[in-house]
Structure 1
Amino acid sequence: MSVGQTIKHKTQAFKGRITERIGRTTRNRRLQHQGRTDQISGNPKQSGDKAKDAFRR
């Protein structure tokens, strides 16, 4: 997997963590949900990247 895609997926998961924490702090359920969604969609993509890299080597 390209380095750009890996960075993009890690950034998405990190952005989700930050958004969720901001939502938790401000008690904004919409932000919490949005952050959780970003995390959930970013983490499997990272796992897919790792699996592709493992089979290439």
Structure 2
Amino acid sequence: MGADDKLSNKAKEAKGKVKEGVGRATGDERLAARGKDEQAGSRLKQAGEKAKDSAKKVKDAFKS
């Protein structure tokens, strides 16, 4: 997982947390839900990148 990807995913997760917080504070359920959705999407991308990294490590281990 590249540093750029990690940073991008963390930024999207933080943005989602802000949206969720603002939505809750203002009573805007749609905004809060969008914030939660962005957070979930970011976490899913992070999990996919980690799985790719793990697969690459296993592949590299068999090359040696």
TM-score by length of 2: 0.75
Whole-Å separation in 1 of the counterparts to 2:19 and 2:51? 27
Structure 2 gaps of 5+ residues are: 58-64
Which residue number in structure 1 is paired with residue 38 of structure 2? 38
Whole-Å separation in 2 of the counterparts to 1:46 and 1:34? 18
Question: Superposed, which structure 2 residues align to 1:2-17 within 5 Å?
Answer: 2-17=2-17
Structure of larger gyration radius: 2
Whole-Å separation in 2 of the counterparts to 1:51 and 1:43? 12
State the Cα RMSD in Å.
1.3
The number of residue pairs the alignment matches comes to 57
TM-score by length of 1: 0.82
Aligned residues with identical type, % of pairs: 33
Higher relative contact order (CA 8 A, sep 6+): 1
Structure 1 gaps of 5+ residues are: none
